[in-house]
Structure 1
Amino acid sequence: MKKNILYPGKSVVALVLMIVSLSCQSLEEAPEGISTPQNFYTTVSQCEAAYAGSMNALFVTWGGYQNIPAFPDGQYEGTSLDFGVTAFNDLWNWHYKSIANINSVLKAVKGGSLASNPQDVIDNVIAQGRFLRAFNYFTLVRLYGKIPYITEDTPDPVLTPLTPESRLEVAEVYDLLEADLTFAVDHLGDYDAATPGKPNKWIAKGYLAKTYLTRATAPLNQADYYAKARDVADEIITKGPYKLLPSLLDVFKTANNRNMEIMFAFHTTSQTPYMPGNVFAPSEMDGWSGGPVKIYWASNIYPEQPRKHSYLLLDFTSDIYDPSAPIINWSKSADGVPYIGKYNMPNLTYDQQVGGGDAGIEMKLLRFADILLIYAEAANMAAGAPTQLAVDRLNMIIDRANAGNGKEPRATLAMSKAVFDQKVIDERSYELCFENDRYFDVLRKRILEQVNLPDNAQGFQETDYLLPIPALDAKAIGQNPGY
């Protein structure tokens, strides 16, 4: 892997050795000890702190997923299918850096660093790491296809450089990450309200269901996995602690972070605060115009309903500093585009919106709404037609979105398999928009060209379904087709 991303480069190692050598010459006393992964990860809290640190590779103030990667998924304005060799390279680097941090803990624990603890405690620590590793690889395999699956047992890529043969077939990658997730399901604890950000068995089951659903679709198209996705999703729905909030207005309020619809999210501390609220706001709200919404999708595709006006910022004040300023439509605004309602007022307080500091915008990774939608899609495809329970669970999402006066039609048992499947995919687009989910649906349903019509699909090629591997790593392991 890229040496200056995952592991110290040779020049750094040489510098460290030189410093150690000079130090030994100038000191008579031998050092009492050196902290290494093998002798540092000797407590559960140290291991869990390192796991939390691995998420910092993905989510830091002004970086990572706080910036919401603007994939060409048909929802972001100004995206392009004209992928260059450097397109989205950061995603590769972030995730492999996170994996390297996780593997260092797993290697230490495997070497006996926690040997003084009961076996169930050790297994739980291992399960946390294997879940987080699978979480990273699930993103990587969907974006890049054949990839190296580096574990705690993989020889150091600095000393034993990776080769093209290091890239596993996509099905092999899924087998390995499923094994990680299955171990996590078996050894993680139950939901604990005192530690809502900590992985638990239900979150692991949620990602297992998502993984099964993805295997059932492109590029593997292993249809037997629909039934597996259905069954795991059903177990979460019927036996798990999470639920759909009655009002969609409560889901994204910063005052309601970590609510029981949120299964997994990026949580921060005061040391790594959330982005300011005005990052995602229009000019009239003293915003920085980040994350404009695709006009065609907002105007012509998203159904008219209360959810649309909550999840999208379509009408807003013409001057946020003037309480009497009139409300204007996005089409009359200075920027001329809608914005993401999930990350603006009224989900933020006024002070969070304009203060320029930590806005408390919790970036969701997995919601209970997603599990209901996974069930609906998988049950329909497994049965060859919509089932009553699939219809009912899909309508839970639609009914909440309509809130009594929306115009989106409900799902019905009379729909064909294909029509119901399209209904679910559309609903996923509306409900989970701007939560780092839509692009993966676009990839697995093979609709990349379709969602970028009519304005920016001209550069589409089938090779666009995979992102380019960063050039330095591609020299060692090979590049994806088309780059």
Structure 2
Amino acid sequence: MKMRYVFLLLSVLLCQGCTDQLELIPESSATTVVFYKTESDFTQAANAVYADLKSYPNRVLDLSETRSDNIYGVSDDGKRYWDAINNFSPSLAGNTKIISAWSGNYSGIFKANTLLDQLSRNGSVLGESIRLRLEAEGRFLRAFYYFDLLRLFGKVPLIDKVMTAAEASGVSRTPVEEVYSLIISDLQYAAEHLPEVYDAKSVGHATKYAAKGLLALVHMTRSGPSYSIEGPGLGVNEWSAAAALLDDIINSKRYNMLGTYEEIFGYGNEGNSEVIFDVQYVSGGLGLGGEYPSLLLPDLYVQQIAGFAGGVMVRPPSADLLASYPEADRRKMFSVQNGYTSGGRYDPRPLLVKFIDVSKKGTRWTDWPLNFIVLRYTDVLLMRAECTLRGASGSQEDVVDVVNDVRKRANIPALTSVDIDVLLAERRREFIGEGIRWHDLVRSGEVIEVMNSWSAREDAGRVIGQMKAEYIIYPVPQTELNIIPGLYEQNKGYN
């Protein structure tokens, strides 16, 4: 059953809802004084924080998947917004997707802070269990948005309470370690106070295990190398801390790998036993559906299969990625279509069709009802295997068993040994289109070498620029630099 909330975003700071799904408290500005008086008020406000997840899957495809060696994102005319992202351009500060990533995450943070502030002021009207749960949800989501910001931009302004616009405008960028401190504190609180499961009316809310899974990823990300930049990696050794959290999820027995790869992403199988946390969508032309299933597909193809215009031009999976799949790999067969014909003309470039089911289409290309899985159980198992390879408890046999379970489902031969490069290659194939590859490469310490080697093989036109450590994170948006000149310094390597 779909989570009964509605994604209805009228502006960054103004939300309006509807009854029977999600009712949102109107918030006109950062200086608006609100007073929540009933449980309904607080529930509406909590759902408003979830609402800003709507843009997350697009952000994942544009800023993570397209940035990686999974996508050859060189457009036909070289003028699309993703060209500069894919090409490691130093002139990205004005890119619309960079700007929206910053503002979208801060919109969610503002709403989370508002909810937490009202719980502190007026939470006595609630029962203790509901108050603790709502605070835990607010803190989980605040940590989620800050972690996304940190991985994208490195240092960011840390705003952990309701501020006036004037107060917020004076907050400079905060060191990465301090941002991490808030993220970890919030997720620890969430893991302690969130329920293990919800009833059918609240499917899609963050659980205890979603918090533990995200916290494990935080520890793993911090443990990656620093590259001598102020980015997400700190070079700390927290693999055992991550492993313990992942073991909690595994030992809960609440999740399991599904029998086939295809059913994980089935429109009629959402919320299956593989899903730990996802972004919810429903179609119907009310702005509640998702754009991401057709985001990387060309307009003519979407029009052909669905009957409505959508997409722009193809951003194909890279030849290097596709060549890495064994011949009988079910993941490639399900996720990728080899070209298409339109108007009698054949375009041989592969298409990422993993999230498309035309029989379930909505009213337009931005209105697909498929939930986007943020964290799934196979990821937990493979992250746990990575922790073992990085020095946490466990054996080579444990790692091989997990990887071979994944390969068995994909219908490809078993392995006898697994090192970190083999594991990363398996993750690359497993999570095609899910926005995970870029962060895996950054965490591995191999992102510069891998990306430059890949572009030398893949980019015959020599359009993609050289990958440098500075490009692990994105520039501060120019719109933010312009507000108070000198408050923020630009990230190195960008103009």
- What per-residue deviation string (whole Å, max 9, x for no partner) do you get for residues 428-458 of structure 1? 2111121122222222224333234222553
2:77 corresponds to: none
- What per-residue deviation string (whole Å, max 9, x for no partner) do you get for residues 358-393 of structure 1? 432322211111101110000121249853222222
More deviation in 244-253 or 280-289?
280-289
Alignment equivalent of 2:203, drawn from 191, 196, 208: 196
The root-mean-square deviation of aligned C-alpha atoms, in Å, is: 3.2
C-alpha contact (below 8 Å) 2:275/2:376 kept by paired residues? yes
Give distance in 2, aligned partners of 1:401 and 1:172: 41
2:66 aligned with 1:71: yes
Instruction: Give the count of matched residue pairs.
Output: 425
- What per-residue deviation string (whole Å, max 9, x for no partner) do you get for residues 298-321 of structure 1? 44333333334344323477579x
Alignment equivalent of 1:57, drawn from 37, 52, 56: 52
Give distance in 2, aligned partners of 1:67 and 1:272: 20
Ranges in structure 2 where 5+ consecutive residues have no aligned partner = 1-10, 15-27, 74-85, 227-232, 306-310
Question: SS of the residue aligned with 2:277?
Answer: strand
- What per-residue deviation string (whole Å, max 9, x for no partner) do you get for residues 229-252 of structure 1? 111111101214121111112111
2:387 aligned with 1:367: no
2:94 aligned with 1:86: yes
Superposition map of 1:217-296 within 5 A: 217-219=224-226, 220-269=233-282, 270=284, 271-275=286-290, 281=297, 283=300, 286=304, 288=311, 292-296=315-319
Give distance in 2, aligned partners of 1:459 and 1:272: 39
Give distance in 1, aligned partners of 2:260 and 2:366: 28
Give distance in 1, aligned partners of 2:359 and 2:345: 20
Deviation for aligned residue 1:73: 0.5
Give distance in 1, aligned partners of 2:37 and 2:473: 40
Deviation for aligned residue 1:160: 5.3
Cα 1:67–1:462 shift into 2, 3 Å = closer
Superposition map of 1:10-25 within 5 A: none
C-alpha contact (below 8 Å) 2:296/2:313 kept by paired residues? yes
Cα 1:353–1:278 shift into 2, 3 Å = farther
1:178 corresponds to: 184
C-alpha contact (below 8 Å) 2:338/2:351 kept by paired residues? no
Amino acid at match of 1:294: P
Alignment equivalent of 1:391, drawn from 393, 396, 400: 400
Question: SS of the residue aligned with 1:265?
Answer: strand
Amino acid at match of 2:471: D
C-alpha contact (below 8 Å) 2:382/2:403 kept by paired residues? yes
Alignment equivalent of 2:488, drawn from 454, 470, 477: 477
More deviation in 261-270 or 96-105?
261-270
C-alpha contact (below 8 Å) 1:468/1:479 kept by paired residues? yes
2:169 aligned with 1:161: yes
Cα 1:351–1:383 shift into 2, 3 Å = closer
C-alpha contact (below 8 Å) 2:281/2:290 kept by paired residues? no
Deviation for aligned residue 1:353: 8.6
Give distance in 1, aligned partners of 2:136 and 2:272: 24
Question: In percent, how many aligned pairs have the same letter?
Answer: 23
Give distance in 1, aligned partners of 2:422 and 2:60: 30
2:81 corresponds to: none
Give distance in 1, aligned partners of 2:360 and 2:167: 52
C-alpha contact (below 8 Å) 1:128/1:184 kept by paired residues? yes
Amino acid at match of 2:354: K
More deviation in 360-369 or 451-460?
451-460
Cα 1:44–1:389 shift into 2, 3 Å = farther
Cα 1:72–1:279 shift into 2, 3 Å = closer
Amino acid at match of 1:464: Y
Give distance in 2, aligned partners of 1:92 and 1:278: 23
Give distance in 2, aligned partners of 1:109 and 1:427: 44
Question: SS of the residue aligned with 1:335?
Answer: strand
Give distance in 2, aligned partners of 1:399 and 1:363: 24
Question: SS of the residue aligned with 1:364?
Answer: strand
Cα 1:305–1:53 shift into 2, 3 Å = farther
1:335 corresponds to: 347
Give distance in 2, aligned partners of 1:333 and 1:378: 48
Give distance in 2, aligned partners of 1:105 and 1:337: 47
Give distance in 2, aligned partners of 1:217 and 1:160: 31
Question: SS of the residue aligned with 2:183?
Answer: helix
C-alpha contact (below 8 Å) 1:244/1:369 kept by paired residues? yes
C-alpha contact (below 8 Å) 2:278/2:374 kept by paired residues? yes
Larger radius of gyration: 1
Give distance in 2, aligned partners of 1:152 and 1:443: 31
Deviation for aligned residue 1:6: 6.4
TM-score by length of 1: 0.79
1:104 corresponds to: 114
More deviation in 365-374 or 444-453?
444-453
Give distance in 1, aligned partners of 2:369 and 2:149: 27
Cα 1:384–1:241 shift into 2, 3 Å = closer
Amino acid at match of 2:370: I
Question: SS of the residue aligned with 1:377?
Answer: helix
Ranges in structure 1 where 5+ consecutive residues have no aligned partner = 9-15, 18-34, 321-331
C-alpha contact (below 8 Å) 1:284/1:334 kept by paired residues? no
TM-score by length of 2: 0.77
Give distance in 2, aligned partners of 1:383 and 1:351: 43
- What per-residue deviation string (whole Å, max 9, x for no partner) do you get for residues 126-163 of structure 1? 1000000000111111111111221126x434245324
Deviation for aligned residue 1:280: 5.0
Cα 1:77–1:121 shift into 2, 3 Å = same
Question: SS of the residue aligned with 1:303?
Answer: coil
2:327 corresponds to: 304
Question: SS of the residue aligned with 1:334?
Answer: strand
- What per-residue deviation string (whole Å, max 9, x for no partner) do you get for residues 327-360 of structure 1? xxxxx9733311113122xxx1435299768432
1:42 corresponds to: 37
More deviation in 468-477 or 198-207?
468-477
C-alpha contact (below 8 Å) 2:49/2:138 kept by paired residues? no
